[in-house]
Amino acid sequence: MNNMFKTLSSAPLSAKFGMIVIFTYLVVAVFAPLIAPYGEREILGRAYELWSSEYPLGTDNLGRDMLSRLIYGARNTLGLTLTITVLAFLLGGILGMIAAALGGWVDQILSRIVDVFMAIPSLIFALLILSIFGTSMPYLIATIVVLDATRVFRIARATAMNVAVMDYVEVARLRGEKLGWVIRKEILPNITAPLLAEFGLRFCFVFLFISALSFLGLGIQPPTADWGSMVRDSSTLISYGDVTPLIPAGAIALLTVAVNFVVDWMLHRSSGLKDVS
């Protein structure tokens, strides 16, 4: 515990700022029902009411409180993003380490399948699949998980390849250890740092991807609050000089920047480089 606090205290100012922002978003997401002044789907007044003491950020196109939906949007968007990122890492990471550990035809087949998926632009692929099968939550999650797992597969395979040829891995194999043991005990502990950094980057990409799909109407479906759809629903206010649509867009941008600050620091630490005074 003391080492953890020492590590966090030695982080640069940008990383500390990022961690504060991430922690704030997590608190808002977890305690959204207690923080939000109104319900997520509660219609309260007229459409596009101005900012007031009753509605601090005004109302949306249906008369729902924008502040409340912004708060609930943190829970919905972050929860979905975290779920998809974890599933993508489990799928891509496990397959990547298996490909690196076994090599041969297993590696060739998995790598060629991943190449096919990566050759198709992600947004076009997602729009095609969601247009055919619908925009229900299971299809949305499965589509993004498959797309994101291909990127995780590449980084997991590349880093695991460097470890799989080490002497201690060969010794474990000669000792008769099974594939699962070799991956869990020898390969995974030695590639944890780059995978953690990649997790932060993939979280950002998934977060932005979900927001983009929601803005296009194929992401999180109404009446569930989502920052991407909130930008779309209130975008007409920009024509009247109202900055309300920029608030959910700013929430998206702020979290993306904060996560990247933390990831940059983690990459710097895992590289073993020292700051030059």
Query: What whole-number distance in Å separates Cα of residue 187 and Cα of residue 181?
Result: 9
- The sign of the dihedral angle between the CA atoms of 38, 41, 46, 52 is positive
The fourth-level CATH superfamily of domain 79-271 is MetI-like (1.10.3720.10)
Q: What's the first-to-final CA gap in the chain, in angstroms?
A: 28
Query: What whole-number distance in Å separates Cα of residue 220 and Cα of residue 19?
Result: 26
pLDDT (tens place) for every residue of the chain, 277 residues total = 566 666 667 778 888 899 999 999 999 999 999 999 988 888 887 888 888 888 888 888 888 889 999 999 888 888 899 999 999 999 999 999 999 888 888 889 999 999 998 888 888 888 888 888 887 888 999 999 999 999 999 999 999 988 887 888 888 887 887 888 888 888 888 888 888 888 888 888 898 898 888 888 888 888 888 888 888 888 888 887 788 888 888 999 999 999 888 888 877 776 654 554 4
Peptide bond into 223 cis (omega under 30): yes
The phi, psi pair for 43, rounded to 5°, reads -90, 120
Three-state DSSP at 111 gives helix
Query: What whole-number distance in Å separates Cα of residue 15 and Cα of residue 120?
Result: 34
